[in-house]
Amino acid sequence: MDKAKKAFLLTLMHTFLISVAVSCIFPLVWMIMSSFKTYQEFIQIPADINTWRGFLHWFLPHKFNLANYISAWRDGNLGMYFLNSVIYTFLAVSGIVFVSSLAGFAFSRLEFWGRDFIFHLFLAAMMIPIPAGFVPLFVLLTRIHLVNTRLGYILAMINVGLSLSIYLFKTFFDNLPRDLEDAARIDGCSKLRIWWNVAFPLAAPATGVVIIFNALNVWNEFILAVIIFADKSKLPLQAGLMEFAGEHIGNEPLIMAGLTIAALPIIVVYLLMQKHIIKGITAGAMVG
Amino acid sequence: MRRGNYGYFLLVLLIFNLFFLSCSSQNKNQVLIWHWMTDRNQAFQKLAKEYEKETGVKVRFEIFFPPNVYAQKVQAAAQAGTLPDIFGILGEKEYLASFVRRNLVVDFSPYFEEKPAWKESFISQALEVSSFSKDNIYRVKAGIYGIPIDFMNIQFLYNKELFKKAGLDPNYPPRNFAEFIAQAKLLHQKLGVEGFICGWGETWLMYSLALDFAFNIMGEKKVLDTFRGKYSYNSPGWVKVFSLFRQMKEAGIIPEGILTMANKEAEEIFANQRAAFSFNGSWCVNVYQKLNPQLNYAPCLIPEVSSAYPRKIWGGAGASFMVNAHSPRKEAAVKFLEWLTQKKQQDFLIRVTNNLPAIKEAPDNLGLVLKEFRKGIDYVTHPNLWPVYEKPKVIEKFTQQLQKVILGEITPAEAAAAVEKVKLRIIKKD
């Protein structure tokens, strides 16, 4: 009886999980499949679509046609935007990891006046919706002559990612055994060297989580970029993609090729970092 | 990560910061224009080159998309005082009024006084969209604050090919509402296509059609008096407006998903000959041209519901450009806009973008469909042209009630009563 109940529950759970997985993966696979189709192929809906044969005929491209990718890359100038996005993502995420790991360490290990108040201020910043801060951020960047500069955008993106990252690092450092730190202190390490030589290397799982969260955020961001930059040549991939999609309204296969180009790098980053994410979560990076 | 890698990472960061990231390029001797019009971007770039060749003045068009993000960019730049020389303002007229109040945009009136022929060259309704008359409801200084670059209106469209297939005369679009229902029903039943399609997921399209009907049933005065709070939404005229939408639903000519449909989707359905009628703006000519160049269709005025009052359709400037009042290149910017709205340049824009021109002079290269659309000029009206406007909360309630009527959840009379209730509450509050 118990065995039957267990099997039933397992089946139920797996059915649920499979359906969630399919609903998450289907749009992605559909996007990739559509990107290989011609426009005529894309708009054709077979009469027997309700059968498996008809569905597959509709879903799969008749031929893997790369023309959409070539056109999206060349006409949409996606190469330039792609490079910008790589630079912004790399530098913004590096900056976030650097600053937030230091800040997280300080909030966790150092005693200073107003520590908890400042930390709670950072937590409060997480509650403010990002678009609400765009106009004041733009005004600030204008005042310090960083509007329409790559540096201004990167600093803004570092600022956007700090709150959550500091919180993650602080939580992780709180759970690190103090004995390691004491041993380093006996060896003559200063506080900064303890962070550099002991705490930060041990925080690799938390760093993984911070990297993937922020890489996703910076890579997919375009609203702030459109607001800050006046030169098109500085825009990131997502902004270029928006414009490209606007110029090719109706040509879905071409737009899907552009979307695939934009999505692939971040999927690769996710796959590379997923081991750390799991570790980070299980090691307590996400515990409150 | 090893220690050596950290050093490398810091070095890269430093190099980027010092040599690459903080350089901001801004050419002081060129007129900078911001816009959001992806369909016109290529044409604008060509025109900029042409202008430079003719006058030696450099003009740079920068596109920012999507439109809602563009609007945020303009808002942020207005706050920071970094608006470009020329830009477009998206949104309600009140939003333009806020720019006028802050003295951010140039009043073209003195330029038009100096060159009356330039002002006369425009279709008056296109110019009025960005104009404020004396004692206007927005309480801003009277003036003309935008230069229209094209014109648009929203009409019914019908597929001539489907008409032929169903045995209807393709040159005989419906003249009244009963005929429209009968033809759409016939086409739906005979050919299996949707009778009528429209992107009513974008509620303003539904609202504009409702107001078109309202103008025809009650006349302009009663409609505007309703906005002023002097005429009730409970009146038979407004109930009739709601009932027309119910009739469309009961006749089976509108599809199930119409209330959540984006206009882009509706455009694809009409372009692929899967719907007989649509309600769309003149911008659709360019869209259909891209989606299905063979599509055989024509616009027609909204089907007449009553002969008591003339029919009206929504229309006005498709897009307008404003000049930054604080720009050091203000005069050069105005000169460029004057050049852009001359016949030669307007002809070029029409050829490339399939939009209606903002100027009166008949263009040389207007296609058949655009010619038909252009006939709608005499019927054009728009909220930006009215001396009074309806409160957004009332409009929201109105469209919500329209949706409920279409779904069959409430009667037209109940819908009208609910809108009136909100209207009275707002009047009381004011």
Same domain, A74 and A28: no
| Per-residue pLDDT band at B318 (split at 50, 70, 90) | confident
Position A29 in a domain: yes
Structure tokens at B260: 């959540």
Q: For the residues B405-423, what does the mean pLDDT come to?
A: 96
Per-residue pLDDT of B322-364, as tens digits, reads 999 999 999 999 999 999 999 999 999 988 888 899 999 867 7
Do the Cβ atoms of B13 and A232 come within 8 Å? no
Same domain, A164 and A44: no
Same CATH fold assignment for domains B30-149+318-359 and B153-315+387-429 = yes
Position A287 in a domain: no
Highest mean pLDDT: which range of A46-50, A153-157, B90-94: A153-157
How many CB pairs below 8 A link A and B?
Answer: 104
Contacts of A247 in chain B (CB under 8 A): 38-39, 41
Q: For the residues B370-378, what does the mean pLDDT come to?
A: 90
pLDDT above 90 as % of chain A: 45
Per-residue pLDDT of B9-67, as tens digits, reads 556 655 555 445 555 455 667 999 999 988 888 899 999 999 999 999 999 998 888 88
Do the Cβ atoms of A135 and B76 come within 8 Å? yes
Distance CA B147, CA B109 (A): 11
| Per-residue pLDDT band at B316 (split at 50, 70, 90) | confident
Q: What residue segments make up the domains of chain B, in order of their start?
A: 30-149+318-359, 153-315+387-429
CA distance B288 to chain A (A): 9
Same domain, A37 and A142: no
Q: What is the ipTM of this complex?
A: 0.72
Same domain, A61 and A189: no
Distance CA B206, CA B214 (A): 12
Q: For the residues A109-138, what does the mean pLDDT come to?
A: 85
**Res B3 pLDDT > 70:** no
Do the Cβ atoms of B72 and A227 come within 8 Å? yes
Do the Cβ atoms of B13 and A231 come within 8 Å? no
Which of A91, A241, A255 should we substitute to test contact with B (largest number of B Cβ atoms within 10 Å)? A91
Same domain, A48 and A79: no
Q: Using an 8 Å Cβ cutoff, are B146 and B96 in contact?
A: yes
Phi, psi (deg, nearest 5) at residue B409: -80, -30
Q: For the residues A50-70, what does the mean pLDDT come to?
A: 88
- ω before B303 within 30° of 0 (cis)? no
Fold of B153-315+387-429: D-Maltodextrin-Binding Protein; domain 2 (3.40.190)
Q: Are strands B313-317 and B297-300 parallel, antiparallel or unpaired?
A: unpaired
Structure tokens at B390: 């309806």
Amino acid, res. B394: V
Structure tokens at B231: 């005429």
CATH number of residue A72's parent domain? 1.10.3720.10
Contacts of A196 in chain B (CB under 8 A): 3, 6
Report the residue from B16, B72, B291 with minimal CB separation from A223: B72
Report the residue from B1, B25, B80 with minimal CB separation from A139: B80
Do the Cβ atoms of B290 and A249 come within 8 Å? yes
CA distances from B186 to B172, B180, B277 (A): 14, 10, 12
Q: What is the pLDDT of residue A135?
A: 81
Do the Cβ atoms of B20 and A91 come within 8 Å? no
| Per-residue pLDDT band at A265 (split at 50, 70, 90) | confident
Same domain, A57 and A86: no
Position A222 in a domain: yes
DSSP string for A238-266: HHHHHHHHHHTTT-HHHHHHHHHHHHHHH
Contacts of B66 in chain A (CB under 8 A): 242, 246
Per-residue pLDDT of B170-229, as tens digits, reads 999 999 999 999 999 999 999 999 999 999 999 999 999 999 999 999 999 999 999 999
Residues in contact with B349: Cβ distance below 8 Å, sequence separation at least 6, in sequence order: B40, B43, B47, B149, B150, B355, B357
Q: By a Cβ cutoff of 8 Å, what residues of chain A touch chain B?
A: 43, 87, 91, 94-95, 98, 131, 134-135, 138-139, 142-143, 145-152, 154, 196-197, 201, 204, 222-223, 226-227, 230-232, 239, 242-243, 246-247, 249-251
> What residue of A is the nearest CA neighbor of B288?
A250
Distance CA B377, CA A196 (A): 72
- In the sheet with B147-148, reading across from the earlier edge strand, the strands are B58-63, B30-35, B86-87, B320-323, B147-148
Q: What is the pLDDT of residue A288?
A: 38
Same domain, A182 and A255: yes
**Res A260 pLDDT > 50:** yes
Amino acid, res. B385: L
- Average pLDDT over all residues of chain A: 87
Do the Cβ atoms of A247 and B32 come within 8 Å? no
Position A139 in a domain: yes
Report how many domains make up chain A: 2
Do the Cβ atoms of B76 and A134 come within 8 Å? yes
Same domain, A180 and A51: no
Distance CA B382, CA B193 (A): 32
Superfamily of domain B30-149+318-359: Periplasmic binding protein-like II (3.40.190.10)
Contacts of A246 in chain B (CB under 8 A): 38-39, 65-66
Which of A15, A50, A65 terminates a domain? The answer is A65
The B residues from 48 to 77 touching A (CB cutoff 8 Å) are 62-66, 69-70, 72-73, 75-77
H or E element at residue A160: helix A150-174
Which of A65, A97, A116 terminates a domain? The answer is A65
Do the Cβ atoms of B264 and A249 come within 8 Å? yes
CA distance B8 to chain A (A): 12
**Res A129 pLDDT > 80:** no
| Per-residue pLDDT band at A196 (split at 50, 70, 90) | very high
Do the Cβ atoms of A94 and B9 come within 8 Å? yes
Same domain, A140 and A17: no
Highest mean pLDDT: which range of A103-117, A127-141, B23-37: A103-117
Q: What is the pLDDT of residue B299?
A: 96
Report the residue from A94, A138, A154 with minimal CB separation from B80: A138
Q: Which domain holds residue A184?
A: 68-282
